[in-house]
Amino acid sequence: DAGVIQSPRHEVTEMGQEVTLRCKPISGHDYLFWYRQTMMRGLELLIYFNNNVPIDDSGMPEDRFSAKMPNASFSTLKIQPSEPRDSAVYFCASSPTGHSTDTQYFGPGTRLTVL
């Protein structure tokens, strides 16, 4: 298996622009997670899905952030409009089932820079 796939790997944009990050989870995994990592705040869970349905989005910082999962093999995280403080590495992860001790498999991340 190719693992969790994220694109793009790097994104540089200007303040005010729309940014869309993409994720393909491991085939057969029912859960998908979006995380953000910064030097200041470390890793944070933004939102997670179960069978394509958003379960908890309490970590989404503002209304500028939105996430969708139209099918089992694809999810997007959109920021509109983007701001410099959104600069971070965004990770997508997936896990097989809903058991709390399931291993989560992380993608390589998208490094976002907002100028």
Partner 1 sequence: KNQVEQSPQSLIILEGKNCTLQCNYTVSPFSNLRWYKQDTGRGPVSLTIMTFSENTKSNGRYTATLDADTKQSSLHITASQLSDSASYICVVLSGGSYIPTFGRGTSLIVHP
- State the minimum distance, in angstroms, from the CB of residue 58 to partner 1: 7
Residue 26: strand, helix, or coil: coil
Specify whether the CB–CB gap between 92 and 37 falls below 8 A: no
Q: How far apart are CA 63 and CA 84, in angstroms?
A: 16
DSSP structural state of residue 86: G
- State the minimum distance, in angstroms, from the CB of residue 27 to partner 1: 18
Nearer to partner 1, 13 or 37 (CB): 37
Beta bridge partners of 71: 74
Amino acid letter, residue 102? D
Binding site for partner 1 (CB under 8 A): 4, 31, 33, 42-45, 48, 55-56, 58-59, 91, 93, 100-101, 103-109
Nearer to partner 1, 16 or 61 (CB): 61
- State the minimum distance, in angstroms, from the CB of residue 29 to partner 1: 13
